[in-house]
Amino acid sequence: MKREEDQQQPIVRDRALTGHKSGIQCVAISPDGSKILSGDDDAWLFLWDVKSGEVIQKLSTPFNGAIGAVVWAPRERDSMAFVLGCADGSILLYQEQQNSRGPFQFVSVVESPGPIEGLAYDQAHQRIASVGGGALQVWKISDVGSLVPIKEDPVQKPVVAKNVTFIDDGASVVVFYLESHEISCYAVEPWDLKWSKIVPTRIGHACICMAEGAFLFITNLLDGIDQYRFPSLEKVQSFTHPISMNLPLQVTTAARGQWVLCGGDSGFVRVYSRRTGQIVQVLDHCDKPEAVQVVATHELEDRTLIVTGSSSEGESDLQVWYERIDPPRLPGAFTDSGRANEATFMSTAKAIIIYAFLGVFVMQLLMIGSIYLFWPEIKAIIEALLRKSTLASDPNSIGLTPISDIHNAVETRGFQQGSAVVLQQQKTLKEIEEMRFSGPLAVTTSPIPTFTSSDYVASVSPLEKFSTIPFEEKMYSEHEYVTKDDKQA
């Protein structure tokens, strides 16, 4: 069931997928976004239908141990397959079959030294990369589905390799090592070490994002996420957050590279704006303070699909989320990309008439000297009246301005940083960043107010008392502005 607080956020909850009896260690979303694979500590792999939430198939590998990694492997001629890695080093390939007892049937298995921590797939060359223990190996999937090693002797190091990914259209593979802080890049054919570099922290998990350049995101097992330019490894910024349990948390990107998502150790996943580094939303996976180490994303045609998985002992579940499609925003609200959403007020004749009337009204006020206003305050009144006339009848159409947008507004427009309103309770920006908030959220920058709903207008200033006034009844009539007479006095 969708929770009420999800409905006013840029990411909304769709459904829970229940059935795992132990911690979920890996999740993979199919290329078309219609299916999900999830593996757990009890060696069970679930195949889910995203639309219905039903289990399509369950597979067990009791003799191979916990399932630590899984990846989809689309084959030629529209055939689908997937590969999973287990605690004993086994790598198993399952392929879609017609007229069989299940959608996917076992095809082949190979062995790798050490528990499988990560898998990656290169569709262009039909290759699988695996890391297990300290071993890196690349396999070619043959026409019959067997896994043939590209290099007879895998690259072996005395440290744990946490995950692996292909770059350069599959021509190169990058591996990330936990304790040694090392990142190594290899050319696949012919096999050759291209470069190896060190970062200052351990590497719990890493992902590469190609939006607006190439960036590397690393969960550092220290204080959050570090962002680097790739492959220079020039540090760009950090996304810091408290850590109560030092666990490897998965990191990924979403919304066409605009968001950075990271698992959590207290029952929720954080979503950051890549541009500003500020929290966009907190995804409350569960009500218990348990580990949510697993997070996966997939870009659909019109929005992003997000899956989070709990990893603690006992029953665990998946939560399915979607990016909100074209969430309504206030006129002049700021988007996560950092650019003002230039929502036009004059799209209708009604808006033009209101503007003309208000312009004359405000000019009369200024000329007679009865009130002392700055343009941002005038603009706020105009926006409020426009909202009253066009949006008050539809509370669900009211959008929110996330913290990251306000920070960006402060940075780009030079506004003074104000306070925050959460369910009509006064909070500072720092308090908002540190808390797990739910429900309508609005942050204001003085002197322009941000609206939490069609029923209330909240206006704050760093030097003035916090005030919340009913939208419909009082609006701005009782707001205390500084008059010219008061200023002279």
Q: Is the pLDDT of residue 441 over 50?
A: no
Q: Is the pLDDT of residue 477 over 50?
A: no
What is the model's pLDDT at position 351? Answer: 55
Query: For 294, which DSSP code?
Result: E
> pLDDT class for 259, splitting at 50, 70, 90?
very high
Q: How far apart are the first and last CA of the chain?
A: 58
Which has the minimum average pLDDT: 1-10, 41-50, 84-93, 258-267? 1-10
What's the one-letter identity of residue 391?
L
Q: Which two tokens stand for residue 436?
A: 């797990």
What is the model's pLDDT at position 136? Answer: 96
Q: Which two tokens stand for residue 248?
A: 């490897």
Distances (CA, A) of 274 to 257, 271, 332, 336: 7, 9, 21, 8
How far is C-alpha 35 from the geometric centre of its chain's CA atoms?
19
In whole angstroms, what is the distance from residue 153 CA to residue 445 CA?
60
What is the model's pLDDT at position 357? Answer: 59
- pLDDT tens digit sequence for 133-178: 889 999 999 999 999 999 888 888 999 999 999 999 999 999 999 9
- pLDDT tens digit sequence for 110-128: 999 899 999 999 999 999 9
Q: Is the pLDDT of residue 332 over 80?
A: no
Residues whose CB falls within 8 Å of the CB of residue 170, separated by 6 or more in sequence, listed in order = 122, 123, 124, 125, 127, 188
Distances (CA, A) of 220 to 140, 209, 245, 269, 295: 32, 17, 13, 16, 16
Q: Which two tokens stand for residue 14?
A: 């769709």
In whole angstroms, what is the distance from residue 70 CA to residue 413 CA?
46
Which residue pairs, CB below 8 angstroms and at least 24 apart, start in 388-393?
Answer: 388/471, 388/472, 388/475, 389/350, 389/354, 390/350, 390/351, 391/454, 392/454, 392/471, 392/472, 393/454
Count other C-beta atoms under 10 Å from residue 68's C-beta.
20
Q: Which two tokens stand for residue 462?
A: 């760093």
What is the model's pLDDT at position 356? Answer: 62
How far is C-alpha 9 from the geometric centre of its chain's CA atoms?
12
pTM of the model: 0.68
What is the model's pLDDT at position 37? Answer: 98
Segment 52-69 mean pLDDT: 95
Q: For the CA atoms of 118, 121, 122, 124, what is the dihedral angle to 10 degrees? A: 180
Buried b (16+ CB within 10 A) or exposed e, 165-186: bbbeebebbbbbbbebbbbbbb
Angle at the Cα of 166 from the Cα atoms of 125 and 197, rounded to 5 degrees: 145
- Phi (first) and psi of residue 216, to 5 degrees: -115, 130
Percent of the chain having pLDDT more than 90? 54
In whole angstroms, what is the distance from residue 67 CA to residue 90 CA?
10
Delimit the domains of the chain by residue range: 349-488
Helical spans, DSSP H, in 336-374 = 349-368
The two most distant CA atoms of the chain are separated, in Å, by 90
Which helix (H) or strand (E) element contains residue 405? helix 403-413
What's the one-letter identity of residue 132?
G
- Phi (first) and psi of residue 159, to 5 degrees: -135, 160
In whole angstroms, what is the distance from residue 225 CA to residue 210 CA?
17
C-alpha dihedral sign at 466, 472, 478, 482: positive
Segment 326-351 mean pLDDT: 40
Which has the minimum average pLDDT: 131-135, 197-201, 218-222, 388-392? 388-392
Helix (H, G, I), strand (E, B) or coil at 215: strand
Within 13 Å, how many C-alpha atoms sit on residue 311's CB side? 23
